[in-house]
Amino acid sequence: MQIEQRVAVVTGAASGIGRSLCLAFADQGAAAVVVCDLDGGGAAQLAATIQARGQRALAVTADMANPADVAALVARARDAFGRIDIFCSNAGIIVGGGVELDDEAWSRMWAVNVQSHVYAVRAVLPEMLARGEGYLVFTASAAGLLTQLGSAPYAVTKHALVALAEWLSITHGDQGIGVSCLCPQAVSTNLLATSRRQVGDGAQAGSSASESAQAGSTASGSAQAAVDGVLTPDQVAACVIEAIADERFLILPHPEVATYERRRADDRERWLSGMRRLQARLSAER
């Protein structure tokens, strides 16, 4: 799908990968960009930046884990611009820990990292199917293909999101619906701060594919994610733009992830053993 003259909606858009995606869509000549975030002020500032360039933009404040907010976002975008061509479901949070985490933390992670994407698809897919055209982009993580040291909820929810994206591609790919799933490793964003606003001090710094590698964390997850380098949000957004043009499902800004995934599939026991060794080594270096 070509982005020029398309209407794009991006969630989690006030900062990080979402912000870079909005600016990239504007640079590619999108007809309009809808900037959605729980941080309404940040969304408004970015929309104003795009408008100052002479392009159309709309800021929407929404909690994507709230189905009413998601429905309102889609309705506002359609009222303003007539349709939604590309929906980038980019909202996500992280919390460090394992099965001992309380139910509230697990529930919030599931609500934002999985259910919010279900709500988004439920709201935009029927009209896309009726038109026979539309594009969905999901920000998952390399953790959704492999695992996430130090955060069981992140690993579990990102695996679930990859599965959702695959199901949608299989089910609707021959009906004009393009689907891409973004799975980077370390990216220099402020996910730590945005996660803390939602789940408190349990949010873990620097341990996922799309969070702040600038936070200075020495957690094992941070070192795991950064082993192949830390990308900027702009670099990741450029990969997304290219993937949409090619209508490519899996987006790997860190191409090494493809090798890791093949090794995992080829010999699961060996991969698990290797990951245990990596976890032990990184923990010893803390």
- List active site positions: 154
What is the torsion angle, in degrees rounded to the nearest 10, for the CA atoms of residue 227, residue 156, residue 279 and residue 180? Answer: -20
Find all residues with CB under 8 Å of 16, minimum gap 6, and list them: 187, 189, 190, 191, 194, 210, 233
Which two three-digit tokens encode residue 72?
């309102």
Measured CA to CA, the distance from residue 139 to residue 128 in angstroms comes to 20
Q: Is 201 exposed, middle or buried (0-12, 13-18, 19+ CB in 10 A)?
A: exposed
Q: Could you tell me the end-to-end alpha-carbon distance of the chain, in angstroms, rounded to an integer?
A: 45
Element holding 34 (H helix, E strand): strand 32-37
